[in-house]
Amino acid sequence: MPNGTNSHRTHRRRAVVASTVGTTIEWYDFFLYGTVAALVFPKLFFPGSSTSAGVLESFSTLFVGFAARPVGAAIFGHYGDRIGRKATLVTTLMLMGVATVLIGLLPGYATLGVGAPLLLVVLRVVQGIGVGGEWGGSVLMSMEWGSTSRRGLMASMPQLGVPLGLLLSTAAVTVCSSMSGDAFESWGWRVPFLLSVVLIAIGLWVRLRVLESPDFAEVKKQQAVERQPVWAAIRSHPREILTSAFVRLSEQAPFYLFITFVLTYGTKHLQMSRADLLNDTLIAAAVGLITVPLFGHLSDRYGRRLIYGIGIVCTGLYAFPYFALLDTRSSGMALLAIVVSLIVHDIQYGPQAALIAESFGTNIRYSGAGLGYQLASVIAGGPAPLIAAALLQSTGSSTGISWYIVLCCVISLIALVLMPRQTAAATAPSKPDAHHMEA
């Protein structure tokens, strides 16, 4: 028995490490694009546009990646619920990594003309599909290896991929920017994309050593595998999917303002130092390594909804102070603004994975949780920088952006109230009709 217990602990640790390393690599790639889209892509791929129009066009390519994420969730959710979490996660890692390396090799508008931004959009779609399929599998691989009483903490561990990916991508851009100097916009920005090759190799080595999650293994043993898990999730849990998407408005939309739009706002509107803003983001991401699992743990003790609701309220209350601190143009106040912005984000992000995943039975969990989570990319994360840039361009003020954040928080609070309470579906397979089950 002790050997069995030790073996389970070993595989559980491997699952957590593999999930976290994988999501770190995926988010490194995804955030790297957002950072460079704010700093370099307007001039490189849209040189004929004005400064403000170039920013909007660049953020439009960012949005394309978000729009592709629900597609990735549906594709890989199907296979994740059909053949297992492990094989699916290896595929998403490869897809994301290859697209990122190719972006690093892509010539600009001066070389390829209109073909350059078109290829950029195609590669961004591939990135979006990869990260769309990644989240559900990583969270489930970690959560399903943990005990029921610690699912908030276990599911929050892959969420560390966000601050870790942000930390690595921002650090890579900062180092390459300082080393390449004025050449950063010509070739320096490419180096962090090409370094993704090393991260992919590490991620594959880690993931190939992991066993399938015990929950999914039990589903296969009971012959409860769904033939059409995506359709089964949509048919039986539409309310769970929709509320999962809208409950993320207050987390995801502000987050991409806090880490991506802030670079444009700070450098172009406030004339602040790019290096200082990147360093502030680095510090804030490092704090997230503590706050994400902390709030996941607190959700195990005090409930997912309570902690998440507190996070929504805090984000809404911070919408105006955030820009007020940035508008001082003080380096100390800007650091405070960015660090606090990610802490209030993490109050939601820590418990979010378990809050969403526990709403679905094991045999449709990859599909259902992935769809709900990634649909938010279309209504929240993708449009947010575009909306903020348009509001700033039309009004010349951050006031409209703050009200936009408040509106997102109000909608999320309503979605949290309407989200169905977790039932036995949190631990057991959904009960499909016989003809939907695998023979």
pLDDT single digits (tens) 328-359: 999 899 999 999 999 999 999 999 999 998 88
The SS3 assignment for 147 reads coil
With a cut of 70, say whether residue 5 has pLDDT above it.
no
- Sign of the CA dihedral 317, 318, 323, 328? positive
Can you tell me which residue has the tokens 């802030």? 262
With a cut of 80, say whether residue 253 has pLDDT above it.
yes
- Residue 421: exposure state from Cβ atoms within 10 A (0-12, 13-18, ≥19): exposed
pLDDT in tens, 318-327: 999 999 999 9
The predicted structure's pLDDT at residue 433: 42
The predicted structure's pLDDT at residue 37: 80
The predicted structure's pLDDT at residue 335: 93
Residues near 241 by Cβ (< 8 Å), separated by ≥ 6? Answer: 233, 234, 368, 371, 372, 375
The SS3 assignment for 226 reads strand
- Dist CA 369 CA 315 (whole Å): 23
Give me the percent of the chain exceeding a pLDDT of 70: 94
User: What mean pLDDT is reported for the chain?
Assistant: 85
Element (H, E) at 180: helix 161-180
- Dist CA 402 CA 347 (whole Å): 19
Q: Of 93, 79, 67, 143, whose CA–CA distance to 353 is shortest?
A: 143
- Residue 393: exposure state from Cβ atoms within 10 A (0-12, 13-18, ≥19): middle
Which residue ranges make up each domain of the chain? 2-212+230-436
Averaged pLDDT, 94-115: 89
Q: Of 277, 310, 275, whose CA–CA distance to 291 is shortest?
A: 310
The predicted structure's pLDDT at residue 439: 32
With a cut of 50, say whether residue 403 has pLDDT above it.
yes
Confidence of residue 4 (pLDDT cuts 50, 70, 90): low
The predicted structure's pLDDT at residue 424: 42
pLDDT in tens, 49-101: 777 777 777 778 777 888 888 999 999 999 888 888 888 888 888 888 888 89
- Dist CA 159 CA 146 (whole Å): 15
- Stretch among 138-147, 280-289, 302-311, 367-376 having the lowest mean pLDDT: 138-147
The predicted structure's pLDDT at residue 423: 52
pLDDT in tens, 120-159: 889 989 988 988 888 888 888 888 877 677 888 888 888 8
The predicted structure's pLDDT at residue 3: 54
On whether the CB atoms of residues 151 and 358 are closer than 8 A, the answer is yes
What is the CATH code for 2-212+230-436? 1.20.1250.20
With a cut of 70, say whether residue 411 has pLDDT above it.
yes
Helix, strand, coil percentages, rounded to 5, for the chain: 85, 0, 15
Question: Long-range pairs for 194-200 at CB < 8 Å and ≥24 separation?
Answer: 194/101, 194/104, 194/105, 196/25, 196/28, 196/29, 196/32, 196/97, 196/100, 196/101, 196/104, 197/97, 197/101, 199/24, 199/25, 199/28, 199/97, 200/25, 200/93, 200/94, 200/97, 200/98
Averaged pLDDT, 174-193: 86
